[in-house]
A and B are shown apart, each in its own frame.
Chain A
Amino acid sequence: TQLLEQSPQFLSIQEGENLTVYCNSSSVFSSLQWYRQEPGEGPVLLVTVVTGGEVKKLKRLTFQFGDARKDSSLHITAAQPGDTGLYLCAGARNYGQNFVFGPGTRLSVLP
């Protein structure tokens, strides 16, 4: 069983639409990160959240950490083809421990 679950597994939308992807766990995390990975490349860090209920915005991307620090969401407004990629969440259960990755949500934004 995965420590982190991500949903949906796949998502295909038209340019300009909004979307939300989710990262869930039964475990509490001290911090959680979101990455985007494009084909042939390594993951690129988008954001780190550490406080329950925290909301961070990065241009058209909004990240939220659940109050209980067990889940997180990523909302993209007015998606663009350049947003296409594999979105990964990764959580660390305790300070100093390595991050555990979820299986990812593969997003395809069609022009």
Chain B
Amino acid sequence: DAGVTQSPTHLIKTRGQQVTLRCSPKSGHDTVSWYQQALGQGPQFIFQYYEEEERQRGNFPDRFSGHQFPNYSSELNVNALLLGDSALYLCASSFQSAANTDTQYFGPGTRLTVL
């Protein structure tokens, strides 16, 4: 049983470019959340997808957008990249994450570097 997988592992982009990161949730999970973790910091919540819709959103600009597919996999898109977007992007999956006691399973992350 595969856990949460993310691709690519590492990515280097230049300012102004656009990037798409991908996440496949753990088998049986239907909810995907995305986090940004800057170096030396804790993860910051970007948004959560359930039933192919954005259910919650953190304090991130509209340059950050996402999508969830019928198979529950998800993409995170970032437009007009800034140097400050350099971070580890984490995907977490859970089952019907409306309950705060639900367990989130995190993927290994995608390390994005913006030059």
Q: Which chain A residues in 32-65 approach chain B with CB under 8 Å?
A: 40-45, 48, 50
Residues A99 and B101 in contact, CB atoms below 8 Å apart: no
Total contacts A to B, CB within 8 angstroms? Answer: 58
A28 interfacial contact with B, CB 8 Å: no
Q: Which residue of A lies closest to B109 (CB)?
A: A42
A103 interfacial contact with B, CB 8 Å: yes
Q: A40-B108, A42-B4 are in contact. Are A50 and B100 (CB under 8 A)?
A: yes
Report the interface size class on chain A.
20 to 34
Q: Which residues of A contact B90 (CB under 8 A)?
A: 42-43
- Interface readout for B27-46 with A: 1 if CB under 8 Å, 0 if not? 00000010100001111110
Q: A40-B108, A42-B4, A42-B106 are in contact. Are A98 and B48 (CB under 8 A)?
A: yes
Interface size on B, residues (CB 8 A): 25
Q: Which chain A residues in 47-86 approach chain B with CB under 8 Å?
A: 48, 50
- Interface readout for B75-115 with A: 1 if CB under 8 Å, 0 if not? 00000000000000010100000111101111111000000
Q: Which residues of B contact A88 (CB under 8 A)?
A: 42-43
Q: Which residue of A lies closest to B104 (CB)?
A: A45
Q: Which residues of B contact A98 (CB under 8 A)?
A: 33, 45, 48, 56, 58
Q: A101-B44, A104-B42 are in contact. Are A44 and B99 (CB under 8 A)?
A: no
A92 interfacial contact with B, CB 8 Å: yes
A108 interfacial contact with B, CB 8 Å: no
Q: A42-B107, A98-B48, A98-B58 are in contact. Are A92 and B100 (CB under 8 A)?
A: yes
Q: Which residues of A contact B98 (CB under 8 A)?
A: 96
Instruction: Give, as a whole number of angstroms, the nearest-CB distance from A92 to chain B.
Output: 4
Residues B43 and A41 in contact, CB atoms below 8 Å apart: no
Q: Which residues of A contact B4 (CB under 8 A)?
A: 42
Interface residues of B (CB under 8 A from A): 4, 33, 35, 40-45, 48, 56, 58, 90, 92, 98-101, 103-109
Interface residues of A (CB under 8 A from B): 4, 30-31, 40-45, 48, 50, 88, 90, 92, 95-104
